[in-house]
Amino acid sequence: MGRRERVLINDHRAHGGGYGQGSAAPFHSEAPSPAPSSSTRTTSTVSGMFGAFRPTSKVQVGLLWKVPWKLSRTRKANARARLKKVDSVIEAVQASGVQCKALTEALALPKEHEMPAKDKYTVYSPHEKGYRKGIHKVPKWTRLTQRTNPKGF
């Protein structure tokens, strides 16, 4: 009998032994079992430590966040829409008459319709086999501007 069961039995006895009128009998036995000797006492395992909230074995094995090797059609469409929205913001800031270094740098970037598909969906990486990797493998790729790559790549 575990510590929790002994506490439940003792709590049950302290409150008069009943669960109220018309209630069902307790799920555990009323007779306490003899306490295990120190030689037979076992230590609790990790799986028994958390009870119903212990992690499953599949969570403990392999990668938890899987990144697909290529972008799906939907994610490509969302990336194009994001590029178009950035282009419209740059045009709106330019039309307002504001002058700043960030705006001049943004105007130097190619627009979404001027970019080849290779530049929209991949970025230069010196560590990859073909010197290109999917843009979705870059951390925070939706928030960064990566429209230009080294010449020849």
77 and 127 assigned to the same domain: yes
In a domain, 152, yes or no: no
In a domain, 153, yes or no: no
80 and 118 assigned to the same domain: yes
Q: What is the pTM of this model?
A: 0.57
82 and 127 assigned to the same domain: yes
In a domain, 67, yes or no: no
In a domain, 148, yes or no: no
In a domain, 49, yes or no: yes
pLDDT one-digit tens code per residue, 109-138:
999 999 999 999 999 999 999 999 999 999
27 and 48 assigned to the same domain: yes
10 and 45 assigned to the same domain: yes
Contact 122/139 with Cβ under 8 angstroms? no
Number of domains present in the structure of the chain: 2
Around 55, how many Cα atoms within 13 Å sit in the side-chain half-sphere? 7
**Quick one: tokens of 75?**
């994610």
In a domain, 53, yes or no: yes
pLDDT one-digit tens code per residue, 2-44:
655 555 555 555 555 555 555 455 555 555 555 655 555 555 5
77 and 128 assigned to the same domain: yes
95 and 127 assigned to the same domain: yes
43 and 89 assigned to the same domain: no
Per-residue pLDDT at 49? 64
37 and 91 assigned to the same domain: no
Task: Provide the domain limits for residue 88.
Answer: 73-137
Phi then psi for residue 94, to 5 deg, are -65, -40
Rounded-to-integer distance, Cα 125 and Cα 12, Å: 67
In a domain, 42, yes or no: yes
In a domain, 65, yes or no: no
